[in-house]
Structure 1
């Protein structure tokens, strides 16, 4: 199990998804990590549930930090990023939003997207 320490784990990717609680938390994660794949999802969403194993695999096997945002619990955060449907994946690199994928996407395509920004 991954443990976060104040020094080294803050800037390196985590090997399991981080559950985001609010705008400040997401901003903090994006600021501290080079590449962040953010999964805007809902528990009732079938495609979101289908995407879950892929998101977990990407968190474990890529250089990206994976963040999960429950749109029902974080409606303002989802609105601020223009999320209209779930799943929506937003990729941040060096603190900036660089990509957005709406709908179910395959692991290979998402891995290639992450790797195009990861050093």
Structure 2
């Protein structure tokens, strides 16, 4: 898929969202209270299109800082209006490469289907919550 195809897909999704809003339908699904484990590029694209904001945690099981961040990510899933997703970089190397993830933990925030923020390393719950609040 090239950039032109991506732009056309994003435009179509936004057109559909605007039509749903105009017709009185809910503009986005309610975010789940637990992190969603992503199983590939299509799954992540679907999540970014479904929810207004998605915080994506690129992690590895062997990563100490990732383990320190895990309870914060779980708490954010339960306490913020954003959907929270987790991507195991060992199982999804292509996806991690696609988003330029070179170290873990890396967190990407998607808003309205687009990646808008990147944070590398362990962050406090307050910092991440403030980041999300800027987009919801």
TM exceeding 0.5: yes
Larger radius of gyration: 2
- TM, length-normalised to structure 2: 0.79
Q: Match of 1:63, SS?
A: coil
The CA deviation at 1:100 is 0.2
Q: Runs of 5+ in structure 1 lacking a partner?
A: 1-7
Residue 83 of structure 2 is aligned with which of 45, 52, 65?
65
Instruction: Name the counterpart of 1:3.
Output: none
Tell me, yes or no, if structure 1 residue 39 matches structure 2 residue 57.
Answer: yes
TM-score, normalised with respect to structure 1: 0.90
Regions of 4+ moved over 4 Å: none
Q: Post-superposition shift, 1:11?
A: 1.2
Distance 2:108 2:135 in 1: 13
Measured in 2, the distance between the counterparts of 1:86 and 1:39 equals 9
- Superimposed CA distance per residue, residues 33-71 of structure 1 (whole angstroms, 9 cap, x where no aligned partner): 000000000000000000000000000000000000000
Aligned residues: 111
Choose the corresponding residue for 2:122, options 101, 104, 108: 104
Alignment RMSD: 1.3
Stretches of structure 2 lacking an aligned partner (at least 5 in a row): 1-25
